[in-house]
Structure 1
Amino acid sequence: MSDIARNTDDLRTYNSPTGSEILGKMILLVGRAEIAGFTASGEPVMLDTAEVFWDCEKVATREGREIYLDRNGEEWTFDQLGPEEEMATNEA
């Protein structure tokens, strides 16, 4: 178990300006969707399998700032977020 997972007393929940909890960072993935071949018109015939190349994973950014996703799927940069207790105070 990592030190972060053991020391949860120091962790804070951050919220977006709308009050929605931040769930994680947006990541960009590279992968390959498998195809069976192509039709006569050149359309790919997709299979139900894909492979993600995890070693190519990158954190998505906007103007050099990492993008975080809230519970509603909205995108925010860290400078827009705040600790849950502070954001609740700002809404009141």
Structure 2
Amino acid sequence: MKADSSCDFLSPEGNPIVGTSEKILATASISGIDPTTGKPLYFGGTEVHRDTQETLERAGKILFVCSEGNEWTFDQLVPTMNYEAELSPLPFR
């Protein structure tokens, strides 16, 4: 659901912005550790610790993600045509 004052944005490549880049702690279950390689032996699922979620930033700017999986800062985004039309003054009559 969008707030009344929101608008849609595209990446500089023209792809829709679908979310923000996030860091979140998760614990993957293991059954042991390979003594030769030191690699975990994964078993079962992964528990996601949602209360650790943090929005990632680059140089203090929130990272947005486009539909192609690329990350962009807000100053790189392009407003959609609908938003630009809303900002344009009505033609003089």
Question: If the length of structure 2 is used for normalisation, what is the TM-score?
Answer: 0.76
Distance 1:28 1:8 in 2: 24
Runs of 4+ in 1 over 2 A off after TM superposition: 7-11
Alpha-carbon offset, residue 40 of structure 1: 3.2
1:70 maps to which of 58, 66, 69: 66
Letter in 1 for 2:53: E
Contiguous gaps of at least 5 residues in structure 1 = 87-92
Q: Number of paired residues?
A: 81
Give 3-state SS (helix, strand or coil) of 2:41's partner. strand
- Within the alignment, does 1:19 sit opposite 2:19 as a pair? no
Higher mean C-alpha deviation, range 8-17 or range 73-82? 8-17
Distance 1:10 1:56 in 2: 29
Distance 1:17 1:44 in 2: 40
Aligned to 1:46: 42
**Pairwise CA RMSD of aligned residues?**
1.7
The structure in which a higher percent of residues are helix is 1
Q: 1:80 to 1:8 in 2, by over 3 A?
A: same
Distance 1:65 1:9 in 2: 23
Alpha-carbon offset, residue 9 of structure 1: 5.9
Aligned to 1:90: none
Q: How does 1:24-39 map to 2 (within 5 A)?
A: 24-39=19-34
Letter in 2 for 1:57: Q
Alpha-carbon offset, residue 43 of structure 1: 2.8
Question: If the length of structure 1 is used for normalisation, what is the TM-score?
Answer: 0.77
Letter in 2 for 1:74: N
